[in-house]
Amino acid sequence: MTNIIKGVISEIWSSKQILSPIIHLCDQIGPRPSGSDAAGQAADFIQTEFEIGNLTTSTHEFTHNSWSPEEFSFAIENQTFPAIPFNLSGNGQLSGDCYYIANPSKKAFEHARFDGKILLAESSHGMGMHRTEILKKAVEGGAIAYIQVAKTPGGIVEKGIISTKGIAEIPAVCISYEAGHFLRRKSQQAGVTVTIKVKGKVGLAIGKNVIGNINTGSDETIILGAHYDTWENSPGAFDNGTGIATLLKLAEVYSQLEQLNVNLQFIAFSAEELGFKGSTAYKEEAVESREVSVPLMVNFDCTAYPRGQRTISVSNSNAIYDTLGHLLESFNFDSTINNRPPFGTDGFPFYLSKIPVVSLEQIDKTKPSYMHTAFDTPEKLTEDSLKNSTAIAGAVLGEIIRQKYT
């Protein structure tokens, strides 16, 4: 099996079109929110790619809530700036001045009160409090609205979900870096009035998970997953075209191998951005019903960002952690390894069910990734970064199969 792993790595590195799925998803389809026509086109494309690789395919549909803004406006002293409401923002039409927090943290909120004010805080780029936590603190402190300032200059605004429990209590929006700093300066000089209007509509949508199977007759099935949905403002090259490209390449390469001795199920999940709705639905309907016996889930989310830190996270299995630690060392792979839970990814629902989860990502947290923005586009990616991450993912899968199923 060691020779097979080397062959998998070689096959991936010799690929000449590993970026092609990302370019198609971004340039030919574009933003693909779960339940949209574009998401349906993306699902059809992925299913066709699985079939070209000689996998047997199926789809798994599920219903989830959707949210869309019917009315939205944002102004500072009657001057408009780039802004966007967060998904599940509370409704409201209001005006007020701001309370500014530069680096949101639990300590910063310990004794803070915002009664009758709008909380203004900077985005943490995944290195501090999540926006849903900040919103909760804003509500507890008496804020009438929450404004998040984008970290990246250039008029960029970042989409995302603001509540995990339905419609938020107060309006919540993201404004550009420039608008945020303009507002901060004005607030320091004298009172400044911000006007916000949000009216959102809640509905139902049908999401679709796309499944490609390699069946060996085994009683066990390793699930490999990546989400293909995006926010309505983002082409989603990095998040998560890279994960889909890794998934499709591994499906192609492993479909050519014999004597795997375990079934492989490659799943392109939808509605990850809405809180792992697709992976949760599949886990509940197929895994917990024991329709599929799953000893391991491997997740690919944001797998290749040039010059970023590549990380493998392992949860619910010390044995797999040790195995992959030895693998990284023996092949001198450019990746760190940790045993953190797969928070914020489609691996999380499986983790909660005590299933071992391995996840792979490559992120540079010191630089903007353009996730959830209109600037998450293919030209920011490189073939070598994606090939390297995908080759490591292929070796990880091969080593786990070698250790347990040969």
What tokens were used for 278? 């697709």
Residues 357, 227: one domain?
A: yes
- What whole-number distance in Å separates Cα of residue 180 and Cα of residue 122? 8
Residue 314 lies in a domain: yes
Residues 32, 88: one domain?
A: no
- pLDDT at position 3 is 82
Residue 382 lies in a domain: yes
Residues 160, 221: one domain?
A: no
Residue 198 lies in a domain: no
pLDDT digit string, tens, across residues 137-193 = 999 999 999 999 998 899 999 999 999 889 999 999 999 999 999 999 988 877 789
Q: Hey, what long-range contacts does 217-220 have (CB within 8 A, 24 or more apart)?
A: 217/263, 218/261, 218/262, 218/263, 218/405, 219/293, 220/262, 220/263, 220/293, 220/294, 220/295
Residue 288 has pLDDT above 90, yes or no: no
> Which of 192, 224, 255 marks a domain boundary?
192
List the CATH number of the domain containing 308.
Answer: 3.40.630.10
Least confident window among 80-94, 124-138, 213-227, 320-334? 124-138
| % of the chain with per-residue pLDDT over 90 | 86
Domain that holds residue 117: 78-192
Residues 150, 28: one domain?
A: no
- pLDDT at position 338 is 98
What tokens were used for 379? 């030209």
Residues 6+ apart with CB under 8 A from 213: 55, 56, 57, 58, 263, 264, 265, 266
Residues 223, 346: one domain?
A: yes
pLDDT digit string, tens, across residues 57-103 = 999 999 999 999 999 999 999 899 999 999 999 999 999 999 999 88
Mean pLDDT of 273-295: 92
Residues 132, 42: one domain?
A: no
What tokens were used for 137? 């603190």
- pLDDT at position 126 is 55
Residues 264, 160: one domain?
A: no
Residue 1 has pLDDT above 80, yes or no: no
- What whole-number distance in Å separates Cα of residue 324 and Cα of residue 331? 11
- pLDDT at position 124 is 67
**How many domains, in total, are found in the chain?**
2
Residues 104, 209: one domain?
A: no
- pLDDT bracket for residue 246 (50, 70, 90): very high
| Mean confidence (pLDDT) of the chain | 94
Q: What is the secondary structure of 91-133 as a DSSP string?
A: PEEEEE-EEEESS--TTTTSS---TTSEEEEE--TTSS--HHH
Total residue length of the chain: 406
Residues 348, 226: one domain?
A: yes
- pLDDT at position 159 is 95
CA-derived radius of gyration, the chain: 22
Residues 21, 82: one domain?
A: no
**Whether the predicted model's global pTM rises above the 0.85 cut:** yes
Least confident window among 58-62, 310-314, 343-347, 365-369? 365-369
pLDDT digit string, tens, across residues 102-135 = 889 888 898 899 999 999 998 765 557 899 999 9
